[in-house]
Chain A
Amino acid sequence: MSVLPYVIAAWLFLIGCYGLATSRNLIHAVGCLAVCQSSTYVLLLAIGYRDGGTAPVFSDITPGSRPVVDPVVQALTLTDIVIGATVTALLLSLVIQVAKRHRTVDPDELSELRG
């Protein structure tokens, strides 16, 4: 159990890279990039977890009464997710532009066009 979250994070990153390298469709590649990104969320939150800890929110628990998990990594992950979505939007709009100009979203055909 103690290494499973780290293993899953590594697996998500590697499988996402595999998808990026073998993708025949740029929209599919953007989806694979989202899988790569999710590996960072799992890794960060796994590092911050504490056995028996609860969420770092003190609106309904007395401070100091229970151990809490690490809020710093949670804050990092939180912004990471929203930024990830907007960057995905930027990439998808680039893909739409590529489709408009070159009439294809296959990266292999695109590199043939350039050559």
Chain B
Amino acid sequence: MQLLEFQAKELFREYGINLLESISSTNIEDGRKHAKELGYPFVIKIQVPVGGRGKAGGIQKCQNDDEFELKYPQVMDLTIKGEKARAILLEKMADIKKELYLSLFLNRSKRCYTIIASAEGGVEIESVKNQIIKEVGLGHVSDELAKEVAKEMGLEGTTAEQFVDTLKKLSKLTIEKEAELVEINPLAIMQDDTIMALDGKFVTDDNSNFRHPELQKYQEKTEIEEQAEKSGFSLVELDGDIAVVGNGAGLVMSTLDMLSDNGGKPACFLDVGGGATTESVYEALTLISKLDRVKGILVNLYGGIVKTTVVAEAFLKAYEDNLIDLPVFSRLKGTESDKAKEMLQGSRTKIFDSVEDAINAAVMGVKK
């Protein structure tokens, strides 16, 4: 899960990382109150769990009440990379001398925490130049290593000291909360030479959630995603009109690819998982029935340990209960697939031998 900027900053504050004064709100009435408390000028920042906000107009300077009334709703109404605003953060304007980049992340290839730092921040990580990369192992960043990074960045005096302090606090935060990534970009040197985190990114390792009840309040899921999680599926909502259901993340991704190649638009990624049962597939169909944009269902199942008859039963039950009246295009392969096909004979589920045929039929079917 990726935290929003203001949530990441809550954690930064808890760990003593220097921040500008800021307040978040979810409606303009609260925003007005905060504007008074904070005082102009400040920056209005959209809170979405994706990058590239500045370019999309999600960060606006605000000098007075008139600008506030104009810009707050504008920013609130933006959609960035398909993500709507979760909140608005008002933050004091900064008097910046220089922007740095600093992050700590779990390095997948090296299997350890790794620091990336640069004396040139403020841009997306791909364009951060002269990256200083240091592997840390599984423990905290040592004083020596932090000093070495500061030196390589060309920092001196109190700025270097503050940087070392910030890096060590960041390391403590990363390890204690088991983050996959914590990023401060930009980490700004202000005109008075203090160091401040102007933006914050924090990605949790969701698998360690059970050890971090304190992070639960940041969990943000659609109602449907939450239900899916309860039932043990993995579901990602997408904006097309064909629901894609399968077993195994790889197979479902593969089905999305083929569907897109053939001109179809997936409405969701739904992996019923390795332990699918009639009940759980029925539950999956219940979730799909709640997605208004769905015009058809594409099922691609490889029955290994899971019997394909389990799926057939779930569909028959769904028809019986009038749960779904959408056309279903399916390819069932593997364990007991002949029996499953027989069970679905004459039902609204059309069965295809190849996934290619099922996809083509689904694309044609929803166009009608």
Question: Do they bind each other?
Answer: no
B residues touching A (Cβ–Cβ < 8 Å)? none
A residues touching B (Cβ–Cβ < 8 Å)? none
